[in-house]
């Protein structure tokens, strides 16, 4: 068991290292010079002053150092929890921007992933046993899972926000309201949250329902199900076993889908101008904000890695075979 988790942690550590490195590299390979664009924004007319500013900025962000020094420094500041200063929202520290955005992203992601997984599994299991449900749930699921996040989000924003006008189409809360611990504020928050959540939930739902339906049908045809039927066990028991066993590949599927779901959430945030990491990343790319982009990606990578690790642990808990495999079988 310890060896298993030790190995897992090592793999996650390596992944993290690679992610940070790529993360550091990619913005620097992007065309364009962020300092130049900052200078352009500052509109300094005199060449000497411009030169002085350039030197100042380059020194401030550490761009005057050799590339390896920049790389090592980025690791150093990472461990100090210092993500640098945003170029776009200068001089706000990146960490502040991120801590403001992350709760919104998590509030969207965690419920939409978990609820769509649970509901999708239930729905798929039901579809596997009833012909009518199978003929309705399945086609709808195929449409949903084939829908791009962006498209469904835009469609919902248009229909509910613009045509019917029942939901807001932008922001995390109304501009007229100040954040506070009051019911009014929470209701307003939920009201803004509902559309992006619903669009994420719906797209993910279809995939889980299809997957579960197929695995359940396979499990109900399996030898242990046939044996139990031959011994006259009621369908209830057989279905319970089948569902329990069918959930296992769905857990693996969740681990595999996590990255896709996060990417979908980022895009959805942008459509709804939701103040999460997605919107932040868009702003960072548009303004060549290295540090913000790096910081945001780092948070996402960390989040996905932690979530994957949790799924690994959960899998070991729910599938006894993995535990037995680690302990070694007895003849």
Partner 1 sequence: MTLEVDDLRVYYRTLKGDVQALDGVSFGLKDGEILGLAGESGCGKTTLGKALIRLDGRMKHVGGSVTLDGETLPIGDDVRMNPYRFKQVSLIPQYSMSAMNPTRKIGRMVRELLESRREKLDLTELHHRLELVELPKDVLGKYPIELSGGMKQRMVMVISTLLNPSLLIADEITSALDVSTQKAVVTTLKGFRDRGFVKSMVFITHDISLTNQLADTIMVMYAGKLAEKAPAATVVNAPKHPYTQLLISSLPEVGVRYADKRLTGIPGNPPSLLNPVAGCRFRDRCPLAFDKCAEEPPPVEVEKDHVVACWKAA
Q: Compute the least distance from the CB of residue 254 to partner 1, in Å.
A: 18
Q: Compute the least distance from the CB of residue 293 to partner 1, in Å.
A: 44
Query: Judged by CB, which is closer to partner 1: 39, or 248?
Result: 248
59: which residues sit within 8 A by CB, 6+ positions away? none
State how far the Cα of 302 lies from the Cα of 7, in Å rounded to an integer. Answer: 18
Helical pair 277-286 and 235-271, crossing angle rounded to 10 deg: 40
Q: Compute the least distance from the CB of residue 18 to partner 1, in Å.
A: 35
Q: Are 159 and 277 in contact (CB under 8 A)?
A: no
Query: Judged by CB, which is closer to partner 1: 59, or 226?
Result: 226
Q: Compute the least distance from the CB of residue 114 to partner 1, in Å.
A: 22
Query: Judged by CB, which is closer to partner 1: 53, or 251?
Result: 251
Q: How far is CA 104 from CA 98, 139, 176, 190, 277, in A?
A: 10, 32, 19, 11, 8
Concatenating the DSSP letter of every residue in 15-70 gives HHHHHHHHHHHHHHHSSS-HHHHHHHHHT---HHHHHHHHHHHHHHHTTTS-HHHH
Q: Compute the least distance from the CB of residue 222 to partner 1, in Å.
A: 7
Q: Compute the least distance from the CB of residue 242 to partner 1, in Å.
A: 9
Q: Compute the least distance from the CB of residue 123 to partner 1, in Å.
A: 22
Residues that bind partner 1 (CB under 8 A): 222-224, 226-234, 236-237, 241, 244-245, 248, 319-321, 324-325, 329-331
Give which of 18, 176, 41, 200 is closest to 112, Cα–Cα. Answer: 200
Query: Judged by CB, which is closer to partner 1: 174, or 229?
Result: 229
Query: Judged by CB, which is closer to partner 1: 159, or 317?
Result: 317
Q: How many residues are recorded in the chain?
A: 331
Query: Judged by CB, which is closer to partner 1: 131, or 236?
Result: 236
Q: Compute the least distance from the CB of residue 221 to partner 1, in Å.
A: 10
Query: Judged by CB, which is closer to partner 1: 65, or 248?
Result: 248
Q: E strands of 83-170, at which residues?
A: none
State how far the Cα of 28 lies from the Cα of 22, in Å rounded to an integer. Answer: 10
Query: Judged by CB, which is closer to partner 1: 99, or 222?
Result: 222
State how far the Cα of 331 lies from the Cα of 320, in Å rounded to an integer. Answer: 17
Assign residue 30 a region (left: φ > 0; alpha: ψ between -120 and 50; beta: otherwise): beta
């Amino acid at each position: 068991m310890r060896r298993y988790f030790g190995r897992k942690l090592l793999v996650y550590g390596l992944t993290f290292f690679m992610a940070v490195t790529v993360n550091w590299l990619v913005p620097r390979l992007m065309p364009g010079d962020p300092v130049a664009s900052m200078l352009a924004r500052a509109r300094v007319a005199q060449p000497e002053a411009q030169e002085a500013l350039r030197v100042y900025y380059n020194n401030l962000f550490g761009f005057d150092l050799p590339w390896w020094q920049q790389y090592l420094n980025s690791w150093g500041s990472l461990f100090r929890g210092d993500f640098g200063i945003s170029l776009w929202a200068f001089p706000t520290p990146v960490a502040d921007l991120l801590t403001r955005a992350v709760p919104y992203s998590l509030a969207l992601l965690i419920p939409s992933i978990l609820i769509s997984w649970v509901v999708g599994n239930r729905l798929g299991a039901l579809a596997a046993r009833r012909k009518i449900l199978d003929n309705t749930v399945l086609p709808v699921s195929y449409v949903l899972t084939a829908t791009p996040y962006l498209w469904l989000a835009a469609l919902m924003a248009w229909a509910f926000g613009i045509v019917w006008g029942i939901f807001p189409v932008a922001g995390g809360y109304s501009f007229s309201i100040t954040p506070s611990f009051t019911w009014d504020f929470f209701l307003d928050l939920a009201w803004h949250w509902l559309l992006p959540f619903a669009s994420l939930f719906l797209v993910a739902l279809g995939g889980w329902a299809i997957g579960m339906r197929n695995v359940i049908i396979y499990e109900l045809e399996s030898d242990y199900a046939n044996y139990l039927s031959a011994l006259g066990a009621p369908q209830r028991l057989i279905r319970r076993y089948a569902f329990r066993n069918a959930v296992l590949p769905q857990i693996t599927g969740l681990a595999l889908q996590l990255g896709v779901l996060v990417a979908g959430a980022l895009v959805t945030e942008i459509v709804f101008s939701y103040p999460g990491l997605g919107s932040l990343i868009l702003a960072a790319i548009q303004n060549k904000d290295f540090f913000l982009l790096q910081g945001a990606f780092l948070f996402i990578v960390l989040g996905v890695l932690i979530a994957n690790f949790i799924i690994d642990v959960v899998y070991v808990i729910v599938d006894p075979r993995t535990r037995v495999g680690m302990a070694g079988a007895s003849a």
